[in-house]
C-alpha cells in the first residue's frame, strides 16, 4: 500500500520530471562554487561563464566535489552524457571551455572519488543545491516519505539498528538520543541542527551545507518526526554566509513544496524550521553553550545533568545533532539499516567525512568508511606530502585531540580515542605536517588555541590553559626545566578533571600526546 | 554618543524586527553589528531596553563572542589565518610580511590581525580583506587588493 507521504512525494517528483525535460537536450555546465573555491576565483568563473553561455547550454552553480586542490572546477556534460572536467579554471579559460564542450578534458586529474565511499557527500558538486527538483530526481526525500509512513518507534529502531553515532565528535548513538528526548514527558520538544563547526581544521559541514543542503534538512525532518519534535532550529556558524544562504533557500523551497510546515507531505505531521547564526568561538559548538547562545546568554556551557534531551532549549527536551549525522539518516530510511551497516568497521558503521589539510598534495573533503587507516587517508586520498617531503606527524581531531607521529599512520579511524594519550577522531579533521614544521610548535599552537578560546567559566580551564602555554614557551625558548614537564602533566590532568565542557576536559590532549610521542624531544628541552 | 533620534529610530526598528524575547538578543546584536560595523554602547543599551535585558548582561553576552566587537574597527582589516593547516603552508611568513608591508593601524587605515582558523584549510594559506576571503594567498595578492582599496 502506498502511503500518503509517498503519494505526495511521487506527485512532486512527477512535476520535477516535467520541468527537467526543458534541459534534456542541452549541454550542462556545472561550476563548483563553495566558500573555499570562491576564495580562489570560482565565483568570477561562474559570472564569466554565465555572460557567455550559448543557447544550447545551461549553467548550474553547485557546491564543490571536495577536490579543493583543483578548485575552481567546471564539469561539462553534453546531452549524450560525455563529460569533461576542467580544473584550476580561471576567467580567461572560459572561452575555451565553452568552445570545447564534449571534447577531451583540458586537464584531467586523477578521479577524486577513487578510494572514497560517498553516502553523505553523494551529489556534492554534481547537483544544484538550490534546486529542490534536482534533489528529488536524485532520490531525495524518499527517506522522509518512508519514515513518515512508519510509527515513530520504528524509525528510531531502524536508526538504532544502523549503528549510527553522532559525527560531531562525541559519537553518541543517534537513535538513543532521539528516544530519550521522545520519552521525556513534555508539552514540546526541540531539535537543534548543530552546524556551528567552529573547530580549526574542520570545514566539512560547510561543504555539505553548500553542496547538499536538502540532505541535512531531510535528515533533520526524519529526526524531528521520530523524536516527537515540531520545531527545528538550524544553528549555523557566524562566518558561513554561503552555507546560510543555501540552507535558507533549501528550507524555503521545502516549505513551498509542503515538505516543511503543516501536514508534511500529507502525513498529518507538523514542523517548523528556523535558522539561527552563531557569533564566533570554538566553545559555541559545545551543545549546552549553543543552547545558552540561542537563549540570549553568554557563550558559556551549562552543568550536565540535566542533559539537553531532558532539559535543553528553553528548558524543554532537546535533541542536538551534528549536520553530518543527520545527513547520514536519509539513506538509512531509504535503503534500510542493514545496507548502511554494511559499510564501516566492527567498531563503527557507516562513513566519516574527513577535512583533509596541511602540507598535502591533494587537500580537500573526502568521505571514507569507518576503519580506514590514516595512511590511506593521508597518502592515498591526500596524495602525500607536498614535494615528496617526509611527514613529521598528523594532527587529528583538532585542538581537543593531539598529534600522532608517522609511526602511527596505520591507525584506523574509529569513534572515540585513536590512542590512549588522548588523540581522538573528533569531528574528523586531519592536518598533515611536513618535516619543516616543528611538531612541538604545532602542539603549542593547539594549546594556545585552547587558552584563547576558554570561555572563563571554570577556573581550572581559564587559569590552567594559559599556564600550559607558558610552560611550553619556557621549554621551546630554551629556558625549560624538568619541573615544566611535571607542571604540564599536572595541569593536563587537573584541567581535564575539573572543567564543565569538552574544551577544558580535552585541553590536555595535545599536551599528553606530545608527552607520549615526542617525550624525548621535550625531555631534551627540559634539560635546558 | 548618539542623539535621541538615533536611539528612537533603532528602537523602532528593533521593535519591528525582533519579538521581545531574550532569545532574540544575539540576532539583534548581529543586526546592529551589520548596520554599524560594530556594537556602539548606546545601541547595546537600546537593544537591552527593547528586550528587557539589563545593559550589563547585554554587554556581558556581547563581549563573550569573538565575532562581535564593541570598538570601532579600522577602515580596513586584513586577517591572516595561522591555524595548523595554514602554518603548514607558510602562513607565519605571510603574516610577518603583511605586518611589515601593509600594517597602518596606527593611522586607522589597515589593521593586520591573526585569526586562529578561517575554516578553508584546503586552500591554505588564507587571508581575509574586510569581508572577502582569499585562498592560496600571497603577499602580492594582498598588496594588489590594498593598492586598489586604499592609496598605499
Asked if the Cβ–Cβ distance from B30 to A298 is below 8 Å, we say no
Residues of chain B with pLDDT under 70: 1, 151-152
A166: nearest Cα among A312, A352, A373: A352
Q: What local confidence, expressed as pLDDT, does residue A483 receive?
A: 96
Q: What local confidence, expressed as pLDDT, does residue A109 receive?
A: 58
Which stretches does DSSP call E strand in chain B? 76-81, 110-115, 127-129, 132-134
Q: What local confidence, expressed as pLDDT, does residue A283 receive?
A: 86
Q: What local confidence, expressed as pLDDT, does residue A105 receive?
A: 46
User: Do residues A75 and A124 make contact, with C-beta atoms less than 8 angstroms apart?
Assistant: no
Asked if the Cβ–Cβ distance from A296 to B123 is below 8 Å, we say no
The minimal CB distance from A293 to the residues B26, B120, B126 is found for B26
Burial class (CB in 10 A: 0-12, 13-18, 19+), A1: exposed
Which ranges of A65-139 would DSSP assign to H, the alpha helix?
94-99, 132-137
**Cβ-Cβ contacts under 8 Å, A278 against chain B:** 67
**Cβ-Cβ contacts under 8 Å, A453 against chain B:** 116
User: Do residues A358 and A389 make contact, with C-beta atoms less than 8 angstroms apart?
Assistant: no
d(CA A75, CA A85) in angstroms, rounded, equals: 4
A240: nearest Cα among A278, A202, A274: A278
The minimal CB distance from B67 to the residues A200, A279, A358 is found for A279
Q: What local confidence, expressed as pLDDT, does residue A102 receive?
A: 44
A475: nearest Cα among A422, A421, A519, A423: A519
Asked if the Cβ–Cβ distance from B68 to A280 is below 8 Å, we say yes
Asked if the Cβ–Cβ distance from A356 to B122 is below 8 Å, we say yes
Asked if the Cβ–Cβ distance from B123 to A356 is below 8 Å, we say no
Residue window 445-474, chain A: list those with CB within 8 Å of chain B. Answer: 445-446, 449, 452-453, 455
Q: What local confidence, expressed as pLDDT, does residue A282 receive?
A: 83
User: Do residues A66 and A112 make contact, with C-beta atoms less than 8 angstroms apart?
Assistant: yes
Asked if the Cβ–Cβ distance from B123 to A37 is below 8 Å, we say yes
Residue B42 has φ and ψ, to the nearest 5°, of: -65, -35
Burial class (CB in 10 A: 0-12, 13-18, 19+), B140: exposed
Q: What local confidence, expressed as pLDDT, does residue A347 receive?
A: 82
Whole-structure pTM value:
0.96
- Say if strands A231-236 and A272-277 run parallel, antiparallel, or are unpaired: parallel
Q: What local confidence, expressed as pLDDT, does residue B42 receive?
A: 96
Residues of chain A with pLDDT under 50: 101-105
Region for residue B47 given its phi and psi (left: phi exceeds 0; alpha: psi -120 to 50; beta: otherwise): alpha
Amino acid at each position: 500500500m502506498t502511503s500518503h507521504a509517498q503519494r505526495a512525494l511521487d506527485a512532486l517528483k512527477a512535476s520535477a520530471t516535467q520541468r527537467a525535460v526543458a534541459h534534456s537536450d542541452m549541454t550542462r555546465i556545472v561550476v563548483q562554487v563553495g566558500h573555499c573555491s570562491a576564495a580562489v576565483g570560482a565565483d568570477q568563473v561562474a559570472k564569466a561563464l554565465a555572460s557567455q553561455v550559448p543557447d544550447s547550454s545551461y549553467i548550474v552553480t553547485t557546491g564543490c566535489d571536495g577536490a579543493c586542490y583543483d578548485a575552481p572546477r567546471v564539469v561539462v556534460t553534453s546531452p549524450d552524457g560525455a563529460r569533461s572536467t576542467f580544473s584550476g579554471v580561471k576567467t580567461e579559460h572560459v572561452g575555451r571551455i565553452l568552445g570545447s564542450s564534449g571534447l577531451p578534458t583540458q586537464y584531467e586529474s586523477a578521479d577524486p572519488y577513487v578510494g572514497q565511499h560517498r553516502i553523505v557527500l553523494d551529489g556534492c558538486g554534481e547537483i544544484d543545491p538550490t534546486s529542490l527538483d534536482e534533489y528529488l530526481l536524485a532520490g531525495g526525500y524518499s527517506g522522509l516519505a518512508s519514515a513518515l509512513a512508519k510509527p515513530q518507534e520504528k524509525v528510531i529502531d531502524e536508526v538504532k539498528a544502523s549503528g549510527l553515532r553522532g559525527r560531531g565528535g562525541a559519537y553518541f548513538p543517534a537513535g538513543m538520543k532521539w528516544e530519550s528526548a521522545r520519552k521525556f514527558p513534555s508539552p514540546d520538544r526541540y531539535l537543534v541542527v548543530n552546524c556551528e563547526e567552529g573547530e580549526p581544521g574542520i570545514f566539512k559541514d560547510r561543504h555539505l551545507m553548500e553542496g547538499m543542503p536538502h540532505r541535512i534538512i531531510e535528515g533533520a525532518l526524519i529526526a524531528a518526526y521520530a523524536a516527537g519534535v515540531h520545531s527545528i532550529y538550524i544553528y549555523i556558524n557566524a562566518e558561513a554566509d554561503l552555507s546560510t544562504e543555501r540552507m535558507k533557500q533549501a528550507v524555503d523551497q521545502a516549505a513551498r513544496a509542503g515538505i516543511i510546515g503543516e501536514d508534511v507531505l500529507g502525513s498529518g505531521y507538523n514542523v517548523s524550521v528556523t535558522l539561527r547564526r552563531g557569533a564566533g568561538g570554538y566553545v559555541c559548538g559545545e551543545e549546552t553553550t549553543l543552547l545558552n547562545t540561542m537563549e540570549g546568554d553568554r557563550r558559556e556551557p551549562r552543568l550536565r545533568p540535566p542533559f539537553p534531551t531532558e532539559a535543553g532549549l528553553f528548558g524543554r527536551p532537546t535533541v542536538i545533532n551534528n549536520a553530518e549525522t543527520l545527513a547520514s539518516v536519509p539513506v538509512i530510511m531509504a535503503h534500510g539499516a542493514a545496507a548502511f551497516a554494511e559499510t564501516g568497521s566492527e567498531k563503527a558503521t557507516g562513513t566519516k567525512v574527513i577535512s583533509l589539510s596541511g602540507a598535502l598534495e591533494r587537500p580537500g573533503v573526502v568521505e571514507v568508511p569507518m576503519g580506514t587507516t590514516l595512511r590511506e587517508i593521508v597518502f592515498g586520498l591526500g596524495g602525500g606530502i607536498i614535494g615528496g617531503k617526509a611527514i613529521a606527524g598528523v594532527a587529528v581531531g583538532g585542538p581537543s585531540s593531539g598529534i600522532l607521529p608517522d609511526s602511527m599512520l596505520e591507525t584506523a579511524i574509529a569513534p572515540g580515542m585513536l590512542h590512549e594519550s588522548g588523540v581522538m577522531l573528533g569531528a574528523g579533521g586531519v592536518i598533515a605536517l611536513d618535516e619543516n614544521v616543528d611538531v612541538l610548535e604545532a602542539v603549542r599552537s593547539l594549546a594556545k588555541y585552547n587558552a584563547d578560546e576558554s570561555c572563563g567559566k571554570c577556573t581550572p580551564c581559564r587559569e590552567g590553559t594559559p599556564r600550559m602555554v607558558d610552560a611550553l614557551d619556557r621549554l621551546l625558548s630554551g629556558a625549560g626545566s624538568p619541573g615544566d614537564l611535571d607542571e604540564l602533566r599536572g595541569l593536563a590532568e587537573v584541567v581535564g578533571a575539573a572543567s564543565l565542557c569538552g574544551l577544558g576536559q580535552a585541553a590536555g590532549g595535545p599536551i599528553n600526546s606530545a608527552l607520549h610521542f615526542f617525550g624525548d624531544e621535550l625531555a631534551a628541552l627540559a634539560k635546558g | 554618543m548618539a542623539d535621541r533620534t538615533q536611539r528612537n529610530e533603532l528602537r523602532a526598528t528593533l521593535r519591528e524586527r525582533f519579538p521581545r524575547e531574550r532569545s532574540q538578543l544575539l540576532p539583534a546584536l548581529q543586526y546592529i553589528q551589520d548596520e554599524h560595523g560594530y556594537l556602539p554602547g548606546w545601541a547595546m543599551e537600546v537593544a537591552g531596553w527593547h528586550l528587557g535585558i539589563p545593559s550589563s548582561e547585554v554587554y556581558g553576552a556581547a563581549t563573550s563572542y569573538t565575532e562581535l566587537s564593541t570598538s570601532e574597527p579600522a577602515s580596513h582589516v586584513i586577517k591572516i589565518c595561522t591555524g595548523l593547516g595554514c602554518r603548514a603552508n607558510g602562513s607565519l611568513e605571510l603574516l610577518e610580511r603583511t605586518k611589515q608591508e601593509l600594517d597602518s593601524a596606527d593611522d586607522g587605515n589597515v589593521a593586520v590581525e591573526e585569526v586562529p582558523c578561517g575554516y578553508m584549510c584546503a586552500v591554505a594559506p588564507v587571508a581575509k580583506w574586510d569581508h572577502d576571503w582569499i585562498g592560496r594567498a600571497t603577499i602580492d595578492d594582498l598588496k594588489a587588493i590594498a593598492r586598489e582599496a586604499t592609496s598605499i
